[in-house]
Amino acid sequence: MTVELVSKRSAASKPVFLVRKGRLEEVALSASAVNWAKANGFDGQQGRMLAVPGPESGIESVLFGLGEEEDGFAPLAAGALARSLPEGDWHFAQLPLAPDLAVLGLLLGGYEFDRYTAKSARTIRFASPENCDAARAARLAQGVFLARDLINTPTNDMGPATLEAEMRKLASLYGAEVEVVHGDSLIEANFPMIHAVGRASVEAPRLLDMRWGRVDAPKVTLVGKGVCFDTGGLDIKPASGMLLMKKDMGGAANVLGLAAMIMAAKLGVRLRVLVPAVENAIAGNAFRPGDVLKSRKGITVEIGNTDAEGRLILADALALADEEEPALLVDMATLTGAARVALGPDLPPFYTDDDGLAAELAQAARDCCDPLWRMPLWGPYDAKLSSRIADINNVTLDGFAGSVTAALFLRRFVEKAASWAHFDIYGWNPTERPHARIGGEAQGIRAIETLLSRRYGP
């Protein structure tokens, strides 16, 4: 389907009444509409839609349930309307409490991944309510859609070379510059761990580097894990563990979506986006358990498990990013199953030593309904990454606190950045929600964009 925002409602536009659970009587409805709602058991249940018939024929209006005030994602619940409303012209009968989020939810709910299927011909035209920044909502939605599209695309159409092409396409849209270090040139350029992880694939590993904005503006650098498919390497995953591994480049997809938001908003930053793009494949030249790799930073890493490859490629990219001493360095990665065990698929953890940044992120996440949860960089667990023959191991032996120790691993490669935050995202919706279908998902990037807009906006 297509959701079109229009600035003014047409004469044919029909109203959508927003109803809180148990508060039907507070909405200015006709007596016939109230009776119809009661007859159909409608009481404002979140996400439920009820069409109210007209006096002659057709639909007179629609009732839409917002649920309880404390229901999660309630401001984005309007996304369900995009999939339920009949084709035509619509408007909110009353101003939503959070008009920007209501419109954003509507746009996000209209997303479809139709690359391999027939596209729906249904179009919904929805009048933007008063006091709504529709242009910003559209920018955010487009960034989310880019992340979702990249994650949803299977690896046969989204390998390292295609991920590079997608970055170049985005760069050309906004006048950004892209440089790529490719294949064996990674060794010459001192990115040994990116090369080691990706060298077994038929598609050469590469480091993608995009720059945009005034050179004298505050430096904001985004690093995204771009493992386009993860077999686990020689520590091979079971078949069930590979089913969703097209999403292991979700960190890269998310930072590209965030970059699109930043550039579209023309924020006052010097943006840099680094994506180490690889496939963790199996071949005779694959890196092995027990190998010792030298990193760009000079730290030697013993390989305790080849399925902990994301932190290796991120480490080389973070070391490069850190050399420029950015004001803010952010990395995003589908890094650990331990994060899902701790917080589930909908609530991504983030890690930072900067309490001020953490507070800003938490507030931004609440304000834009893009949930995040700070987790501790618990120093005593650093010792769990020790190695007998190298400076550090890429995994721990006891299996505890996997997301925390992964963050501690990455922290060793960041010293000069004024602030750093690591996001251990899932990048996937396992269940249908009003604003999000099952499939690839953007997580945390709307919160980060909100923070950046408040810091560096016009």
Catalytic residue from among 122, 168, 237, 374: 237
Q: And the tokens for 410?
A: 């990455």
Q: What domains sit in the chain, N to C, each tagged with a CATH number? A: 2-132 (3.40.220.10), 139-456 (3.40.630.10)
Q: And the tokens for 220?
A: 């904001």
Spatial neighbors of 66 by CB under 8 A, at least 6 apart, are 18, 19, 20, 21, 44, 46, 74, 77
pLDDT at 73: 59
DSSP code of 251?
H
A 10 A CB-CB count for 283 gives: 11
Is 19 within 8 Å of 28 (Cβ atoms)? no
Q: At residue 8, what are phi and psi to the nearest 5 degrees?
A: -130, 145
Q: At residue 345, what are phi and psi to the nearest 5 degrees?
A: -80, -20
| Residues of the chain under the 70 pLDDT cut | 69-73
Is 169 within 8 Å of 158 (Cβ atoms)? no
Give catalytic status of residue 237 as yes or no.
yes
pLDDT at 454: 98
CA distance 241 to 230: 9
Look at the pTM and tell me if it is higher than 0.85.
yes
pLDDT at 75: 84
Q: At residue 177, what are phi and psi to the nearest 5 degrees?
A: -110, 145
CA distance 262 to 101: 18
Closest CA to 69 of 17, 128, 22, 27: 22
Length of the chain: 458
pLDDT in tens, 230-274: 999 999 999 999 999 999 999 999 999 999 999 999 999 999 999
Closest CA to 76 of 151, 149, 6, 18: 18
CA distance 207 to 274: 7
CA distance 335 to 249: 10
Helix/strand/coil for 62: strand
CA distance 90 to 355: 44
Give catalytic status of residue 270 as yes or no.
no
Catalytic residue from among 311, 412, 437, 446: 311
